[in-house]
């Protein structure tokens, strides 16, 4: 069975500081991993995804994530936070196969201070 | 803009009533999934339709049902509404049959049950 744990329901950073959002997964087979962002009153938008190619994945808006099999982690980072990055971030895992059904974490709210 | 549209955007229903939510998938996508997102939680998978057939179901009771039409649009029906059904309902479309394929979310339908 697949599952995702996002460490920290809230992360607070200053504008210009490093953003680090943590995600650990559990999967019985090599996983597909995703990060989504949700702005207030909107649906989810894909930031990036890992599908067994390069372990360092670059996404939109300057975000990137590194797949570490030994640590079962897929942490999301951004070198310099912008005020516009304030949103809810969701990590998701899929074990692939015929029906692609991802399992989502509970989300991490990113707060950016001026 | 993901090309996935949902209606209505907001609605209020009384406990015991029935509701139908609608979703138009992105052009060319043959797979539609529905998710329930309670306040402060990640999306929970309800079910998925692939070429008009249910292709996976999460841990939701039978009073949650759905349809997919020949044009791949979809409906989510919930009977005998309960207060705990109050949530954001998200529709997502994808091109099925390809593991790890990106799914695209609509902006959701906010359901309040009073």
- pLDDT for A63 equals 97
Q: What is the DSSP string of A46-103?
A: EEEEE-SS-SEEE-GGG-EEEEEGGGTEEEEEESS--GGG-EEEEEEEE--SSS---E
Residue-wise pLDDT for A25-61, tens only, equals 998 777 889 999 999 878 899 999 998 778 899 999 9
Is it the case that residue B40 has pLDDT exceeding 80? yes
Is it the case that residue B60 has pLDDT exceeding 50? yes
- The tokens for B31 are 């797979």
Q: Write out chain A residues lying below 8 Å of B42, CB-based.
A: 90, 104-107
- pLDDT for B26 equals 86
Is it the case that residue B45 has pLDDT exceeding 60? yes
Residue of A4, A32, A36, A44 to mutate for B, most B C-beta atoms under 10 A: A44
- pLDDT for A96 equals 62
Q: How many CB pairs under 8 A join A and B?
A: 68
Instruction: Report, as an integer, the average pLDDT of B103-109.
Output: 91
Residue-wise pLDDT for A4-25, tens only, equals 999 999 999 999 999 999 999 9
Cβ of A49 within 8 Å of Cβ of B41? The answer is no
Instruction: Report, as an integer, the average pLDDT of B47-74.
Output: 92
The closest CB to that of B99, out of A32, A43, A90, belongs to: A32
- pLDDT for A100 equals 64
Query: Is the CA virtual torsion A36, A13, A17, A112 positive or negative?
Result: positive
B108 reaches A (C-beta below 8 A): yes
**CA angle B74-B79-B82, nearest 5°?**
120
Is it the case that residue A98 has pLDDT exceeding 50? no
Residue-wise pLDDT for B5-30, tens only, equals 999 999 999 999 999 999 999 888 88
């Amino acid at each position: 069975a697949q599952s995702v744990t996002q460490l920290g329901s809230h992360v607070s950073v200053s504008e210009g500081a490093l953003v680090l959002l943590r995600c650990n997964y559990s999967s019985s087979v090599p996983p597909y991993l995703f990060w989504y962002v949700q702005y207030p009153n909107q649906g989810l938008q894909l930031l990036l995804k890992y599908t067994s190619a390069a372990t360092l994945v670059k996404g939109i808006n300057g975000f990137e994530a590194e797949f570490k099999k030994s640590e079962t982690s897929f942490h999301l980072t951004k070198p310099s936070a912008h005020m516009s990055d304030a949103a809810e971030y969701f990590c998701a895992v899929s074990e692939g196969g015929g029906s692609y059904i991802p399992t989502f974490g509970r989300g991490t709210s990113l707060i950016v201070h001026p | 803009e993901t090309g996935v549209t949902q209606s209505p955007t907001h609605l209020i229903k009384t406990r015991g009533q029935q509701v139908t939510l609608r979703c138009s998938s992105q052009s060319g996508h043959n797979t539609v999934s529905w998710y329930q997102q309670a306040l402060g939680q990640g999306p929970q998978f309800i079910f998925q339709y692939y070429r008009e057939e249910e292709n996976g179901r999460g841990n939701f009771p039978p009073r949650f049902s759905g349809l997919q039409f020949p044009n791949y649009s979809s409906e989510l029906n919930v009977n005998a509404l309960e207060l705990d059904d109050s949530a954001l309902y998200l529709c997502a479309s994808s091109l099925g049959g390809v593991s790890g394929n990106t799914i695209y979310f609509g902006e959701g339908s906010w359901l309040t049950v009073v």
